[in-house]
Amino acid sequence: MDFIQITVIIWLIVPAIFANDLNIAFWIDPVQKDIYGDIAATLKEIEGLHLETKIVDTVMVIEPGDDDDDEVDSMETSERNMRTFCDILSVSGISIILDFTYLPWHQGLDYVQAHGIPYMKVDRILRPFMQMFSAFLQQKDATEVVMLLQNERDKREAIEEMIRGLPFRTLILNAGDGNRTDFVTILRDLRPSPGYYGIFAKGSNMNSIFDKILKGNVFARPAEWHFIFLDTRDRVFKYKKQAENGNKFSVNPKAVCKSLQMKDAYCQSGFTFQRALLLEIFRALIDIRQSRWLEPILMDCNVTTSETMEYLKDFDILDHFKLNDFMTFSPVNPENTFDDERPEMIPPLSYSVNVSINFYSSEHEAVTDLAVWQNGEMKKINHTISPAKRFFRIGTTEAIPWSYYRKNPNTGELLLDANGQPMWEGFCIDMIESLAEKMNFDYEIVTPKKGKFGRRDPVTHEWDGLVGDLVSGETDFVVAALKMYSEREEYIDFLAPYFEQTGITIVMRKPVKQTSLFKFMTVLRLEVWMSIVGALVSTAVAIWLLDTYSPYSAKNNKKAYPYPCRDFTLRESFWFALTSFTPQGGGEAPKAISARILVAAYWLFVVLMLATFTANLAAFLTVERMQTPVQSLEQLARQSRINYTVVEGSDTHHYFINMDFAEKTLYRMWKELALNASRDFHKFRVWDYPIKEQYGRILLAINSSMPVADAEEGFRKVNEREGADYAFIHDSSEIKYEITMNCNLTEVGEVFAEQPYAVAVQQGSHLADPISFAILELQKDRYFEELKAKYWNRSRSNCPLSEEEQGITLESLGGVFIATLCGLGLAMISLVFEVLWNKRKQKKIAGDIVQVKPVDVKDPPVEVWHSEAKLTPPPSFETATFRGRKIPSGITLGSEFKPGRVGLNRRLLSRRPDEDTPPKDELPAYME
């Protein structure tokens, strides 16, 4: 008897021996070793049912081939798996193969299909929950999700599901006790921060995972966390209060046991869906086995017979396998087939699960369900599943007025929020708030740990600042005063500009004018003023001399001038010379020809001096009102009195560095061209370099002045230089804002090196389109114009008006008013002296009248009346005649001698001014 005959006999006899046995071979992956416990527990449940069929299980671990191994190693692994399978097939026999593996074992599948061995593919145990979770997040428009799994097997199944295709970006982490990496640290350092988190675990494992999350301070936004319980024991979760508003995905144990036709106790302790699926599969296979199918097959892999082939090919598992409410087949589509090259194979076997979706609440544990997952469909219940707010880490850095820390206006201290974090404000901060409202997201502002806007290291070629954080994923996008550079755009993407073209300009302090009330006197030098005074004195003395000694003056020529004329005494001469400087004129001029010639020459001098003073005063005031000594970058570069600087390492600093490099490069190229030109060499014979070189001098001056650390220091240095001898070259938008806040500063020259500001995202970021659309919407609503008016078009009403706006100030010409007031004061003092001097003279005259001797009674009485009360001493003669009469000596009234009686005269002199004129009968006849 040969070997083939023996094999046929064994194949025919063994089924009769093992008539009631069901030999099931399990193909599993190395990560599915937990199936041993589920198989053992399920076999105990089968034994408790007291069925006649005995199940014999054989578990075969399929060693996967490493893609990195060479072809020889892969062949060795496949041959090793095949030898193990052949040993099982030839020793214990196989009734059916249950394949739990994730990747197809091609050699084994080829053998099974070729020999007609019963085979069933079991789908991934986690797949129904993954489908449910994916459908729920699609209702929320999720774009990025982190999935935390309880063990390595679940992680592998989630990865396989992700490979098949998920409608969002996914990060899968093993959060079980056996993982080697700290998933909490990964979550904390994850960039960009995901919008949703999902924990897939059994009730007991859910507690341990969430405990780590709480201790790591990762659980910050409850509404974005989802707790997916993979068993029926969701009530053992002890962090309900901490997870308030977090979504809970739970399974009703009674409903599961009802579909399994088992007691409720089965779904309470130690229940897993893999165990339940095994139980249903065993039941169905036992029914088939009792129908005399699925007999154990013993076979030598090296020997086959035609009889064996014909018998095995008559069996079709689908014709005998009965499904129920719990067990089902996965939908047949390309993503579910285990091998695209074998579409004729039966679909994977799976299970159906009904999940209730609600949320944790501190008010009451049972709340209205958000939705229900039933029969593979998501059904909303009384609530709209609205998209949760996404969360972004937005990069920015200090740049006034774009984004800066809010400070106490009185103390200058930083203001902190409720969490102890500094508060921000500015143009970009307002823009972020508007984007968050329009796009419905929460955000966290992140500042770069190193650098500011972004500079690439010339050695390592790594970026720091905002650009570096964006490249490394530390931030999701950047909203700051970030300019669009071609060098930056090689590593990040810029969106539509949100601000008009901005560039570089110069700021200086307005010159502080030296306040002096007599500043108008500085128009002429001291020696000129002294010369004018000397000319005035000399002219006055000369006029007095000429009028005194000239025979043709009014004083010495009475016949030519019988009418009253001006007597040019020394006092009148000085008054004439002084008043000649005024538009009123000097008054009556001298009569002598010599004096008139002198006056004419003096008037010419006065006209020229007045014209000179007026012209110089106008020019002096005009120059004084000029704001800055330079008006452009070219003027600033040509002078050496004014120092200027930039912020070290800023875009402005790099602009001058690059321009200096460009100038030197162009000069070197021109020099080489001029020296080495073989054709038209005579055209290069020029004495001057045809390109203006100024940026090299500017950069040298900047380095000598030492670049400042930040813009605040630059503005402070400019403000401290009251002489306007210091300039700060910086971003034009920041300078314009600073000018609105500081009345002492002014902008110099025009803006140059203009470039736009724009929001930056990672290259290929999915946020580019929604953010661009939101920015365009804001532009359409003229939102950015309002922001610009808020920060730049502020009224400077608190600043004093400049002289261009208010004219010449009193401080410049106050000395004129002081001189006038001094003249008024001197006039009042002179009036006081005149009054006192007059009273003194009247008292002296009154005393002289009382002491007059009595007149001779023989002479007729003389009565005197004169309106003037002024008395002058009598002339030096005894008797005067008036109208042929003799008047006693000793009495003089006015400028003429008048007869009168002594008694009447005394009475008239003693009369008060307010008394009436004496009666007519008391007057003598010649005075009536």
The Cα 369–Cα 357 span in angstroms is 6
Question: Do 576 and 534 form a contact (C-beta atoms < 8 A)?
Answer: no
Question: Do 394 and 443 form a contact (C-beta atoms < 8 A)?
Answer: yes
Structure tokens at 858: 């023989």
**Of the candidates 131, 134, 132, which has an alpha carbon nearest to the alpha carbon of residue 196?**
134
Structure tokens at 263: 């007691």
210 — phi, psi (to 5°)?
-70, -30
Q: What distances in angstroms separate CA 543 from CA 220, 539, 548, 580, one per listed residue?
A: 102, 6, 8, 13
- Bridge partners (DSSP) listed for residue 463: 456
488 a known binding residue?
A: yes
Structure tokens at 906: 């005394």
Cα 810 off chain centre by: 43
Look at strands 349-351 and 327-329 and give their pairing.
antiparallel
Q: Integer distance in angstroms from the first to the last C-alpha of the chain?
A: 199
Question: Do 526 and 802 form a contact (C-beta atoms < 8 A)?
Answer: no
What single DSSP character describes residue 333? S
33 — phi, psi (to 5°)?
-70, -10
The Cα 172–Cα 177 span in angstroms is 16
Question: Do 477 and 390 form a contact (C-beta atoms < 8 A)?
Answer: no
> Measured on CA atoms in the order 439, 445, 450, 454, is the torsion positive or negative?
positive
The Cα 751–Cα 748 span in angstroms is 9
**Of the candidates 77, 126, 68, 70, which has an alpha carbon nearest to the alpha carbon of residue 106?**
77
Cα 800 off chain centre by: 30
685 a known binding residue?
A: no
Can you tell me whether residue 834 is helix, strand or coil? Answer: helix
**Looking up tokens 């659980």, which residue turns up?**
219
**Of the candidates 59, 55, 126, which has an alpha carbon nearest to the alpha carbon of residue 273?**
126
CB < 8 Å & 24+ apart, contacts of 220-227: 221/391, 221/442, 222/246, 222/360, 223/247, 223/388, 223/389, 224/195, 224/196, 224/197, 224/388, 224/389, 224/391, 225/196, 225/197, 225/198, 225/199, 226/133, 226/136, 226/196, 226/197, 226/198, 226/199, 227/199
Per the rule left: phi > 0, alpha: psi between -120 and 50, beta: everything else, 883 is: left
Per the rule left: phi > 0, alpha: psi between -120 and 50, beta: everything else, 749 is: left
Q: 695-705 vs 651-676: helix axis angle to the nearest 10?
A: 140
513 — phi, psi (to 5°)?
-80, 140
3-state secondary structure 806-831: HCCCHHHHHHHHHHHHHHHHHHHHHH
Question: Do 18 and 94 form a contact (C-beta atoms < 8 A)?
Answer: no
Residues in the chain: 928
**Of the candidates 118, 128, 158, 160, which has an alpha carbon nearest to the alpha carbon of residue 346?**
118
- Bridge partners (DSSP) listed for residue 359: 247
Structure tokens at 227: 């707790």
What are the binding residues? 488, 652, 731
What are the binding residues for L-glutamate? 488, 652, 731
